[in-house]
Amino acid sequence: MPRVKAIAATSGVIPAKAGIQTDVKAIAATSGIIPAKAGIQTAKLLYALRLSCGLFKLRIGAVIGLTAAAGAAATPGNLSGAQLFLFALAVTGAAAAAGGFNQYAERDLDRLMQRTQRRPFATGELVPGARFLWLLATVLVVSVAAAAALANALAAAYVFLGAFFYGVVYTVWLKRRTWWNIVVGGAAGSFAILAGAAAVEPGVPPAVAAALAGVLFLWTPPHFWSLAIACRDDYVHAGVPMLPVVIGVERCARVILAHTLALTALSLVPLAFGMGPAYAAAAVGGGAWFIAKSVRLVRQPTREAARANFHASLAQLSALLLATIAERLLSA
């Protein structure tokens, strides 16, 4: 069987041959009804998709794209559905470039942490090299240029700043040095909201979009600190100064609750600026759920409670973003 050079043609990344051969054979072997050649080709595709989704953190990128769409929905103005969709794709592309760089830069840490030790650079499935960095730079430049073409220079600047804050400010400058890493790095999500708002109307963001940007800024630390409590041993072993490592789990849980209360209160501000019942239900319901799980974490600072709070944070943010978009669709 010819060697599989998954995604190498487009990225220049060199995969570990034995691992790919094993993966391809395993995937192809599970499909008894697919002819041999078709099965191998399907396995190649599935392998490349799996590798790309993990390497570029496409699930997180999709959420960042949704965040930009919510920022656009929160801003009065005219932006066609096709423009908004393509702009969200551009934001997703920039986030994917930042996510890929994060894995490239943290491959040494990833090998030390149980949560991340199966990432492709950590396992040796992919070998780092200059071509991968060129690929990431190309994806970022194309994404920012697309945002400028679809919207305007200000929106493109926000798209770039979101990727820069995650890829450089958080990953390179702060993560290994200070517990402020995720606080400052959390601005990446806020830039996505601002990018969406600027795509509709460049200038000072309206009150609803500004409030949502603030919510994203306050939301990121408790979201990630909850995960850091659940994986505290990993961060201790890797020497990463996440807040639960620096001040302890109990104190960190109280800080998480304070952030949750603040962001929930801020999420109610858009109701004073015309947001309707769908948003109200999401802000009140999602916020109450997040607060309840944070209170439980304070009372029972366990890994299980931390994971539950992590998932509650995802539910709360998803509800806010989708409700913001739904309000725009309902008012159209």
> Which tens digit of pLDDT belongs to each residue from 205-222?
999 999 999 999 999 999
| Structure-derived torsion over alpha carbons of residues 151, 194, 182, 295, reported in degrees to the nearest 10 | -140
Identify whether residues 68 and 98 lie together within a single domain: yes
Range of the domain at 17: 1-55
- Give 110-122 pLDDT, tens digit per residue: 999 999 999 989 8
**313 shares a domain with 182:** yes
Residue (of 44, 11, 282, 2) closest to 131 by Cα position:
11
Question: Which stretch of 25-34, 146-155, 240-249, 298-307 has the lowest confidence by average pLDDT?
Answer: 25-34
**Are 26 and 164 members of one domain?**
no
The token pair at 174 is 């702060």
Distance (Å, whole) CA 297 – CA 253:
6
Q: How confident is the model at residue 35 (pLDDT cuts 50, 70, 90)?
A: low
Both tokens of residue 56?
């570029």
Whole-angstrom distance, CA of residue 267 vs CA of residue 280: 9
Partners of residue 14 on adjacent β-strands:
127
Indicate whether 188 and 204 sit together in one domain.
Answer: yes
Domain boundary residue, one of 36, 55, 74: 55
- Which of 55, 76, 94 is the last residue before a domain boundary? 55
Q: Is 36 left (phi over 0), alpha (psi -120 to 50) or beta?
A: alpha
Number of domains composing the chain: 2
Type and span of the H or E element at 199: helix 187-200
Does 249 lie in the same domain as 126? yes
Residue type, 120: P
pLDDT at site 54: 76
- Asked if 132 and 11 count as a contact pair (C-beta separation under 8 A), the reply is yes
Which of 55, 83, 99 delimits the end of a domain?
55
Do residues 34 and 181 both lie within one domain?
A: no
Q: Verify that 228 and 267 share a domain, yes or no.
A: yes
User: Do 24 and 127 belong to one domain?
Assistant: no
Q: In the chain, at which residue ranges do the beta strands (DSSP E only) sit?
A: 14-15, 126-127
> The pTM is what?
0.86
Residues facing residue 127 across a β-bridge: 14
Q: Residue 304: pLDDT band by 50, 70, 90 thresholds?
A: very high
The answer on 113 and 50 residing in a single domain is: no
- pLDDT-based confidence at residue 331 (cuts at 50, 70, 90): confident
**Among the listed residues 83, 179, 178, 100, the one whose alpha carbon sits nearest the alpha carbon of residue 138:** 100
Query: Burial level of 128, CB count in 10 A (0-12/13-18/19+)?
Result: middle
Instruction: Tell me the average pLDDT of the chain.
Output: 89
Here the tokens at position 283 are 């802000």
Give residue 30's pLDDT: 43
Distance CA 65, CA 46 (A): 24
State whether 187 and 307 are in the same domain.
yes
Measure the CA angle with vertex 196, ends 273 and 215; round to 5°: 55
Tokens coding 322 = 């989708």
pLDDT of residue 137: 97
- Clarify whether residues 90 and 156 are in a common domain: yes
For residues 191 and 294, state if they share a domain: yes
Q: Which residue is listed with tokens 């606080």?
A: 183
Indicate which CATH number applies to the domain containing 117: 1.10.600
